[in-house]
């Protein structure tokens, strides 16, 4: 299931990216020969006007074939004026940045949608609804809870001692139930990562510095409830979240590239395809909103990575356009092809290294 979700997320994000190129190419008067959903081999296609809309076998995104990205091909054609290379540098730049713009817009839409649907939020007991969760926020090292392997993020579903059970699970009732039963074995039932667990703990004193005589098992608790916002608030919060995430991702990727240049990069902090499959599975286990938030984060990552001034990426092609403006003449196609090929090979090698790191972490 996690692999299917991974392919679905990647498929949607790449399709959104390529639609940006497609839409802007049409708007700037370029001839779009093909808009492909999925990658070849081709299953079927529909011809509408001058553009072929193809449906392909491999569901890993899509592609856009804009006429005349190769200047020799464009000049040999009778439709040169509608080729990519015949358009102004500004129009070419608009087409190149349209993909990452769509990824950013899509991330913003997902953030707004999540805030409108409802975001899991820490609330007070008085504000918590009947559907709120009692969640383990922290686990004290060398405490009964730590010895019982109760994980951070676990949702407490029941607390019992023999035939007595706590039916009103909130922070106050949990603490009261625990304090009233020092040196008594308690059964703690909880869910974590989609699975249910029951463990036994015994409250002890001396764990809480402010109240050393109070029995406790060594966990900090929080009430989590789904809080939805009205549309105007969701729009504002989604915009803020998009901006903050963009800044954080940009700083993170820049730091990684700087450390790579110094040969000090830590690939264990980077997730490749294998790692992302696991992250998608974890996000999906916490519900639709978590999966949407994760998809928005990946979309912003794709946008930032694609704008890097590196051959084979949109940022690299944008750099070529800028160089052509400065030198006043086109870069020789053979050099563009060579640089893009080198860039593509380096990206593949980097992907292999990150994937190997993912596998090593699993092992």
Q: How confident is the model over 343-353, as pLDDT tens digits?
A: 767 766 666 66
Q: pLDDT tens for residues 321-362?
A: 898 889 887 777 777 777 777 876 776 666 666 555 545 555
Whether 61 contacts 18, CB under 8 Å: yes
34 burial class (0-12, 13-18, 19+ CB within 10 angstroms)?
middle
Mean pLDDT of the chain: 83
CB atoms within 10 A of CB 60: 12
**Which residues of the chain are in CATH 2.30.42.10 domains?**
121-227
The tokens describing 239, both together, are 């915009």
**Does 195 have pLDDT greater than 90?**
no
In terms of Cα–Cα distance, which of 101, 299, 230 is closest to 291? 299
Residue whose C-alpha is closest to residue 11's, from 65, 53, 62: 62
CATH number of 121-227: 2.30.42.10
**296: number of CA atoms within 13 Å, CB side?**
25
Asked whether 200 and 181 are in contact (CB, 8 A), the reply is no
C-alpha separations of 260 from 72, 253, 319 in Å: 37, 10, 22
User: At residue 192, does pLDDT exceed 70?
Assistant: yes
Give the model's pLDDT for residue 71: 67
26 vs 213: which has the higher pLDDT: 26
* CA 131 centroid distance within chain: 27
Is 113 exposed, middle or buried, given 0-12, 13-18 or 19+ CB atoms closer than 10 A? Answer: middle
Using DSSP, state whether 125 is helix, strand or coil.
coil
CA distance 56 to 247: 36
Cα 325 to Cα 99, 309, 328, 358, distances in angstroms: 22, 16, 5, 42
Q: Give me the residue label for tokens 């093909």.
A: 34
The answer to whether residue 63 scores a pLDDT higher than 80 is yes
Query: CA-to-CA distance for 283 and 309, rounded, in angstroms?
Result: 31
Greater model confidence, 168 or 165: 165
- The model's pTM: 0.75
The number of angstroms, rounded, from the C-alpha of 278 to the middle of its chain's C-alpha atoms is 12
pLDDT value of residue 356: 56
Please give the residue that has the higher pLDDT: either 80 or 210.
Answer: 80
> Between 260 and 241, whose confidence is greater?
241
Lowest mean pLDDT across 133-137, 243-247, 256-260, 276-280: 276-280
d(CA 310, CA 259): 17
Contact between residue 265 and residue 252 where contact means Cβ atoms under 8 Å apart? no
**Window from 34-38, 123-127, 153-157, 184-188 with minimum mean pLDDT:** 123-127
Query: Three-class SS of residue 286?
Result: coil
> pLDDT-derived band of residue 285, with 50, 70 and 90 as boundaries?
low
Residue 300: band (very low, low, confident or very high) from pLDDT cuts 50, 70, 90: very high
Residue 241 confidence (pLDDT): 94
pLDDT at 207 (0 to 100): 78
Interstrand relation of 133-139 and 119-123 (parallel, antiparallel or unpaired): unpaired
Rounded to an integer, the average pLDDT of 120-132 is 83
Give the percent of the chain with pLDDT over 70.
84
Ranking 14-18, 33-37, 186-190, 210-214 by mean pLDDT, the lowest is: 210-214
């Amino acid at each position: 299931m996690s692999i299917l979700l991974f392919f679905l997320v990647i498929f949607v994000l790449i399709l959104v990216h390529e639609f940006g190129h497609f839409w802007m190419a049409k708007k700037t008067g370029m001839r779009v020969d093909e808009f492909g959903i999925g990658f070849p081999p081709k299953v079927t296609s529909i011809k509408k006007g001058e553009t072929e809309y193809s449906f392909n076998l491999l569901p890993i995104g899509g592609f856009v074939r804009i006429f005349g990205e190769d200047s020799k091909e464009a000049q040999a054609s009778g439709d040169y004026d509608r080729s990519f290379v015949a358009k102004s540098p500004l129009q070419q730049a608009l087409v190149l940045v349209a993909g990452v713009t769509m990824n950013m817009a899509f991330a913003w839409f997902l953030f707004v949608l999540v805030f409108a649907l409802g975001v899991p939020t820490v609330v007070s007991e008085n504000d918590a609804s009947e559907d709120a969760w009692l969640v383990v926020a922290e686990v004290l090292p060398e405490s009964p809870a730590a010895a019982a392997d109760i994980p951070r993020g676990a949702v407490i579903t029941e607390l019992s001692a023999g035939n007595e059970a706590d039916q009103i699970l909130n922070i106050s009732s949990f603490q009261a139930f625990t304090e009233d039963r020092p040196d008594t074995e308690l059964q703690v039932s909880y869910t974590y990562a989609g699975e249910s667990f029951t463990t036994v703990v015994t409250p002890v004193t001396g764990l809480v510095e402010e109240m050393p005589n109070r029995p406790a098992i060594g966990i900090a608790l929080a009430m989590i409830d789904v809080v939805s916002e009205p549309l105007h608030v969701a729009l504002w919060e989604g915009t803020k979240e998009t901006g903050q995430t963009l800044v954080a991702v940009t700083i993170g990727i820049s730091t990684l590239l700087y450390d790579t240049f110094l040969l000090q990069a830590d690939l264990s902090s980077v997730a490749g395809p294998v790692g992302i499959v696991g992250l998608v599975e974890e996000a999906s286990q916490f519900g639709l909103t978590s999966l949407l938030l994760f998809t928005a984060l990946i979309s912003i990552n794709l946008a930032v990575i694609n704008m890097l001034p590196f051959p084979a990426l949109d940022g690299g092609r944008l750099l070529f356009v800028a160089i052509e403006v400065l030198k006043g003449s086109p870069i020789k196609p053979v050099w563009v092809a060579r640089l893009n090929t080198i860039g593509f090979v380096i990206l593949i090698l980097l992907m292999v290294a990150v994937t190997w790191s993912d596998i090593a972490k699993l092992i």
